[in-house]
């Protein structure tokens, strides 16, 4: 029996296709993984496969040691990066990497993405930092990315490359990716017109029992 259930594999595929549908990814860009704590492993998308032809069975299970345990395809070239983030953040159970256009505008400028929308504050938890550009397919990059992400926020921009977002579960990590891209688009427009009002999570009063958007 596989360490990754059919349900988990199908969920990953669903959000992969959503990332293309919503314009966060294109071609074979981006990757998604989910932690399998009971097996000390993760399940991750394979490298170089278009999401419209990818199947749940083609997902790859990789141990915390980086060794492939299940799957005939090569895992994402950024598997080591995902593993580094899981090591740093025990609260994280899912990771989404996207090539979001407006996020990449800020990444190309080396500018952090400040929060101007409520969803950005609620899901990303604050301003999203930018990691200086470097090639991403190695564990050293992953360790630096995880260090810049830190423990307080849920996303980091890779300069000239894209966004990595994390969450307690896969829908949550995807919400972060969507929120950061929407915020980046509004922030770009607001900066073109004037000086935007920034939001601070510490200053927002959330009524007891309120459901998040």
**What are the structure tokens assigned to 42, written together?**
């993760």
For the chain, first and last CA: distance in Å? 37
The number of residues making up the chain comes to: 213
130-131 and 155-158 beta bridge pairing:
parallel
The 3-state DSSP composition of the chain as helix, strand, coil percent (nearest 5) reads: 40, 20, 40
Is 78 noted as a catalytic residue in this protein? yes
By C-alpha distance, which of 57, 92, 62 is closest to 76?
62
Helix (H) or strand (E) holding 69: strand 68-70
Active-site position among 11, 18, 57, 78 = 78
- Beta strands (DSSP E) in 82-197 are 94-98, 130-131, 155-158, 162-167
Q: Angle formed by the axes of helices 79-88 and 139-149, to 10°?
A: 40
Catalytic residue IDs: 78
């Amino acid at each position: 029996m596989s360490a990754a259930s059919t349900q988990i594999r199908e969920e990953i595929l669903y959000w992969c296709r959503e990332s293309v549908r919503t314009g966060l990814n294109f071609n074979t860009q981006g990757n998604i993984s989910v932690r399998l704590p009971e097996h000390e492993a993760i399940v991750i998308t394979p490298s170089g496969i278009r999401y419209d032809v990818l199947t749940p069975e083609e997902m790859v299970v990789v141990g915390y040691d980086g060794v492939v345990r299940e799957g005939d395809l090569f895992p994402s070239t950024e598997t080591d990066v995902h593993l580094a983030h899981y090591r740093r953040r025990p609260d994280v159970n899912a990771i989404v990497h996207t090539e979001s256009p407006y996020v990449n505008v800020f990444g190309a400028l080396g500018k952090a993405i400040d929060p101007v929308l409520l969803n950005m504050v609620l899901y990303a938890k604050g301003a999203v930092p930018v990691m200086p550009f470097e090639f991403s397919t190695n564990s050293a990059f992953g360790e630096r990315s995880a260090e810049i992400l830190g423990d307080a926020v849920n996303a980091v921009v890779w300069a000239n490359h894209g966004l990595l977002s994390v969450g307690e579960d896969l829908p949550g990590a995807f919400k972060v990716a969507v929120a950061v891209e929407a915020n980046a688009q509004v922030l770009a427009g607001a900066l073109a017109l004037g000086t935007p009002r920034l939001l601070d999570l510490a200053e927002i009063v959330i009524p007891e029992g309120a459901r998040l958007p």
